[in-house]
Structure 1
Amino acid sequence: MVFLRAVLIFCLSAAASAASSLQPPAGFMQPPEHLRHETVTCPAAPPPFTGALDFRSKYDGSDNARATLNPQTEAAFRQQTQTISDMERFVSHQITAYARSGNPHYVACAVNALDAWASAGALTGDARNHTGKSVRKWALATFSSTWLQLQFSPQHPLAPYPAQQQNITRWLGKLGDLTVTDWRDLPLKKVNNHSYWAAWALMSTAVATQREDLFAASLAIYRTAMQQIDEHGFLPNELRRRQRALSYHNYAIQPLVMIALFARANGIDLRTENHDALQRLGKRIIDALDNPSAFAQRSGETQDVAFLQYPTNLAWLEAWCQLYTCDAPLLARIDTLRPLQNTRLGGSLSYLLAGKE
């Protein structure tokens, strides 16, 4: 079965390459596991968010490290962005369900919801602060990285929806243009994990919209990130998060690994940038999962490792093991955490990249 799946994915990759100038990794364009057509009741989708992107930060009142959560403003942030986060989960769930079942009813649910948001111009409002810009690119990363799975599915599930597909693709491109504007021309001291997540949103949107300019914008941010990684595998701007330095290094690498994986699918090997900087960063983080002393020493603070309680924060390891050879202990760790999924990275990376449930 493993051999047959590998042959199928190779064939799909070759076919997609011939059809499109930009493509995702092969796992993102595999056929559904099953083909079922039982009627599915589509739940009500969240209404389009058309207001200004003006949200409280969960770190309001913190010092320059921006590492101390403010419970009051975090609650306000969750409440203000609830509709957007609900939509991210809604779309991801529908498209993941289609990948498992092949049931076209899930496709209809996703298409109708995204089409409504596209027609309303959702998330295109004025981003009045850093948090608003962040929410826009996070949502875009979710929508594009899941949507392209329908676009590249060999079952052609979007064939019945040509007008909606065009509308949604146009909207994703608009959000991509806004994301470029939101995160361009920052001084290096402010280029951090947020810029990297913007770059991932641009990469997945570039593939979804066949926009070479967005692809190039993503690569430019990625290459800046690689130049920021020092000889020991640290990101200075993430070390400033003090007790959360390891947590934010882990957060920063997630989009970078996905960008490298998508770039490789398009014939560009980014792993060699700045003398294998991505590998230095990943090794530094992986070593610290069991022993964060190096981060404590460099940041001057005992590390808060609460993020390890949530496997979604380690979903990037599935992509990592596609780029690099993972040793037996790391593979065993990943296996105990599966299925590893992260809505903003495309859903279940265990399924998409490793064929694991």
Structure 2
Amino acid sequence: MHMPKMMLPTLLSLAMLSSAVFATSASAAATLVPPQGYYEGVEKFKSSEGKFTCEAIPQPYTDKLVFRSKYEGSDKARATLNKDSEQAFRDATKSITTLERNTSKVVMQYMRDGRPEQLDCALNMLTTWAKADALESTDFNHTGKSMRKWALGSMASSYLRLKFSNSHPLATRQQDAQVIEAWFSKLGDQVVSDWNNLPLDKTNNHSYWAAWSVMATSIATNRKDLFDWSVKEFRIAANQVDPQGFLPNELKRKQRALAYHNYALPPLAMIASFAQANGVDLRPENNGALKRLGDRVLAGVKDSDDFAARGGEKQDMTDLKTDMKFAWLEPYCSLYDCGPDVLEQKHKMQPFKNFRLGGDLTRTYDPTHEKGEKGGS
């Protein structure tokens, strides 16, 4: 059919517009992904022979999220441990932390052995809590909402290994996956509600850990709105880092200022690593704030005098003698060229296992390092 010349530009414009709309919608629907290490397959599929015991699923926590703080009675620094309230806190939250630890442990066992009963164990734990609407209470205090975001970060980051593994363990478990991801999605919305738009003087390491849990959840559920919120919170955190690499709200912790600076690094380094996997480079934020913070902490571990001067008290170095507390070095050294001395220090402490970051980070970020048994989960 002959087409009038005057119609061609119109049709071409429509075609270009249609193409542009398609490209935009395709971009908007792009799948969020974790860093490359989360795609690893099962190490070696083993038969069901041998010892594996799935521990009893802890009772789903459906009560109000109101717990005593382990710093109960402390002054504004919130740095003096109250042993009685700490024990009460641990007793009240035992089922939650047991679920976190066991999920991480069993998922990592499955990634090593590939036994069906290990996969069943991990998924049964998560679906049982999901179906009970656990951890969803809107009656909470600060310690309670802290437990919710820690637990979500632990579970979602462990689950990512199953969702993205090139062994495809969830291929025949889509019903379980839907139940778990719907629950994660609800918890992610609640964590955003819990921690959104806090005044800057109240925005500290807790907000960073909340943002990490939401980042892990965004990848598990492919929700760009959650991803964007986590990135927003990272930028707020980065802008809190002063020119010398200190976080003013962590300096308030006096004798534990250095320990809390170190504690702020794992969620921030993980968020930056996950953002980079999705084409968002957070390293330049506030003139390289994350690098400046990491350098300051590493220098402080060698000589804590600057932290003592800024925090006002001699630093308590107890936490900093635990290798697992430096698990942030794995994502950090994937983002930056760590110097020989830092790499040597990292290799001495490997493997890094931290259930709140989803398990064995050395296996994820530095798989060429010889596997060992050291490290806590």
TM-score norm. by structure 1 comes to 0.93
Question: What is the number of equivalent residue pairs in this alignment?
Answer: 340
Q: Which residue of 1 aligns with 2:32?
A: 22
Compared with structure 1, are the counterparts of its residues 202 and 31 closer, same or farther at alpha carbon in structure 2 (3 Å cutoff)?
Answer: same
Q: Which residue of 2 aligns with 1:34?
A: 44
Equivalent positions of 1:118-157 (< 5 A) are 118-157=130-169
Per-residue CA deviation, residues 8-67 of structure 1 (Å, 9 max, x unaligned), is xxxxxxxxx9x9610000001111221213254322121211111010000110000111
Q: Which residue of 2 aligns with 1:348?
A: 360
2:238 is equivalent to residue 231 of structure 1: no
Per-residue CA deviation, residues 269-307 of structure 1 (Å, 9 max, x unaligned), is 100001111111010001111111110111111000100
The alpha-carbon deviation at position 319 of structure 1 amounts to: 1.1
Distance 1:309 1:233 in 2: 21
Between stretches 22-31 and 34-43, larger displacement belongs to: 34-43
2:272 alignment partner AA? A
Distance 1:20 1:118 in 2: 26
Q: Which residue of 1 aligns with 2:192?
A: 180
Distance 1:104 1:153 in 2: 15
Q: Which residue of 1 aligns with 2:120?
A: 108
Q: Which residue of 1 aligns with 2:92?
A: 80
CA contact (8 A) 1:37 1:105 kept: no
SS at match of 1:228: coil
The alpha-carbon deviation at position 267 of structure 1 amounts to: 0.5
Equivalent positions of 1:162-311 (< 5 A) are 162-311=174-323
TM-score norm. by structure 2 comes to 0.88
Equivalent positions of 1:35-50 (< 5 A) are 35-39=45-49, 40-50=52-62
Distance 2:282 2:79 in 1: 31
Distance 2:366 2:347 in 1: 10
Distance 1:146 1:302 in 2: 37
Distance 1:185 1:229 in 2: 18
The alpha-carbon deviation at position 162 of structure 1 amounts to: 1.5
Distance 2:352 2:177 in 1: 29
Counterpart pick for 1:117 among 129, 132, 137: 129
The alpha-carbon deviation at position 320 of structure 1 amounts to: 1.0
The alpha-carbon deviation at position 103 of structure 1 amounts to: 2.1
CA contact (8 A) 1:199 1:221 kept: yes
Q: Which residue of 2 aligns with 1:6?
A: none
Q: Which residue of 2 aligns with 1:90?
A: 102
Larger radius of gyration: 2
Distance 1:316 1:347 in 2: 12
CA contact (8 A) 1:35 1:102 kept: yes
Between stretches 125-134 and 275-284, larger displacement belongs to: 125-134
Compared with structure 1, are the counterparts of its residues 41 and 67 closer, same or farther at alpha carbon in structure 2 (3 Å cutoff)?
Answer: closer
Distance 1:352 1:97 in 2: 14
Distance 1:145 1:348 in 2: 11
Per-residue CA deviation, residues 66-102 of structure 1 (Å, 9 max, x unaligned), is 1111111001000000010000011001101111122
SS at match of 2:149: helix
Per-residue CA deviation, residues 131-178 of structure 1 (Å, 9 max, x unaligned), is 000000000000100101100011110122121110000000000000
The alpha-carbon deviation at position 198 of structure 1 amounts to: 0.3
Distance 2:202 2:265 in 1: 16
Counterpart pick for 1:160 among 153, 172, 184: 172
CA contact (8 A) 1:104 1:157 kept: no
Compared with structure 1, are the counterparts of its residues 20 and 114 closer, same or farther at alpha carbon in structure 2 (3 Å cutoff)?
Answer: farther
1:213 alignment partner AA? D
Compared with structure 1, are the counterparts of its residues 67 and 41 closer, same or farther at alpha carbon in structure 2 (3 Å cutoff)?
Answer: closer
Per-residue CA deviation, residues 102-126 of structure 1 (Å, 9 max, x unaligned), is 2222111000110000000010012
Q: Which residue of 1 aligns with 2:11?
A: none
The alpha-carbon deviation at position 127 of structure 1 amounts to: 4.0
The sequence identity of aligned pairs, in percent, is: 49
Structure 1 unaligned runs (5+)?
Answer: 1-16
2:349 is equivalent to residue 337 of structure 1: yes
Per-residue CA deviation, residues 307-346 of structure 1 (Å, 9 max, x unaligned), is 0232211111111110111112211111111111111111
Per-residue CA deviation, residues 224-243 of structure 1 (Å, 9 max, x unaligned), is 00110000000000000000
Structure 2 unaligned runs (5+)?
Answer: 1-26, 372-377
Between stretches 29-38 and 60-69, larger displacement belongs to: 29-38
Distance 2:245 2:61 in 1: 39
Give RMSD over aligned pairs. Answer: 1.3
Distance 2:86 2:151 in 1: 18
